[in-house]
Chain A
């Protein structure tokens, strides 16, 4: 099982994500944003949190146009797995790999704290380590995590079981309490909370570890 973690100028959760991937058994390579190709045989691409390009223009907008993101789009089209966390989620929406957009939190403030999330119904390898309806605690750390999409898109996401995580107590104004969403094929997941920051007990929580181990398990049995 091979994973790649993208590194943009301003990424700051790339090494945390690589650590979580490796702990789950992924042979993980860091990939610079100027590279035009992913390493051969990569199953999973991680788009990490941080402040790519200083959040200039819009969060994730410039990273979404980088050479490596064209390779990530091709990887997704081929049915590859992509996980975008926080700024990575913003990048995936800017790439239009996932619908909607992340706007400024309704309270204007940057929020950094643990949030309780409810796991959705989605039939996705990313959720294989969880039960639908289970509650987990992941930290959030964002200024622009307010998920926004038109009503038709939101209805479709809910109807197709593509809401992967919802906030138990909405911290940022996200439409329908959405914290994370899946692509149609369930192989692209974007979420604002940080499972990689809750993947080891010494970090104060380990609820996130099941996402990585569950995905690894689903990939090895597949």
Chain B
């Protein structure tokens, strides 16, 4: 089985990289981009039957820093 973990900075945490991307889009003439947030996507190849709780544990322990980041788990 496969799972996809999306890690994003929490709302309210300033994202300097997202801001830089927003500026660059503006410089390229893309108007109306009000905000950009950059995150990361981690794909996991897992033994069949791995529970979502187990993946959640992986996220809490390593994949995300829950002080500043949220994550979402998608079973593929």
Type the 1/0 row for A58-88, where 1 means its CB is closer than 8 Å to any CB of B. 1001100100000000000000000000000
Which A81-129 residues sit within 8 Å CB-CB of chain B? 93-94, 99-101, 103-108
Q: Quick one: given A101-B67, A148-B68, are A106 and B14 in contact (CB under 8 Å)?
A: yes
List chain A residues, Cβ under 8 A from B67.
Answer: 93, 99-101, 148-149
CA A159 to CA B13, docked complex, whole Å: 23
Cβ contacts A to B, 17 pairs, < 8 Å: A57-B62, A58-B65, A61-B62, A62-B62, A65-B62, A93-B67, A94-B65, A101-B65, A101-B68, A103-B14, A103-B16, A103-B68, A107-B16, A108-B16, A108-B20, A148-B14, A149-B67
Alpha-carbon distance between A109 and B20 when the two chains are bound, in angstroms:
11
Contact for A57 among B16, B20, B63, B68, CB less than 8 A:
B63
Q: Which of A29-68 contact B (CB under 8 A)?
A: 57-58, 61-62, 65
CB closest chain-A residue, reference B61 = A65
Given A61-B62, A101-B65; A146-B13 close (CB under 8 Å): no
Contacts of A58 in B (CB 8 A): 65
A161 to B17 CA separation, bound complex (whole angstroms)? 32
Residues in B neighbouring A94, C-beta threshold 8 A: 65
A214 within 8 Å of B (CB atoms): no
Q: Does A171 contact B (CB under 8 A)?
A: no
Interface of A (DSSP majority class): loop
Place the interface of chain B in its size category: 10 to 19
A173 touches B13 (CB 8 A): no
User: Quick one: which of A62, A103, A108 contacts B13, CB cutoff 8 A?
Assistant: A103
Contact of A108 among B17, B63, B68 (CB under 8 A): B17
Nearest CB in chain A to that of B64: its residue: A58
Chain B residues closer than 8 Å to A103, beta-carbon distance: 13-14, 16, 68
**Which single member of B16, B17, B20, B62 contacts A173 (CB below 8 Å)?**
B16
Minimum distance in angstroms from B17 CB to a CB of chain A? 6
The answer to whether B63 and A106 have CB atoms under 8 Å apart is no
Given A58-B65, A99-B67, list of 11 further CB < 8 A pairs? A62-B62, A65-B62, A101-B67, A101-B68, A103-B14, A106-B14, A107-B16, A108-B16, A108-B20, A146-B16, A148-B68
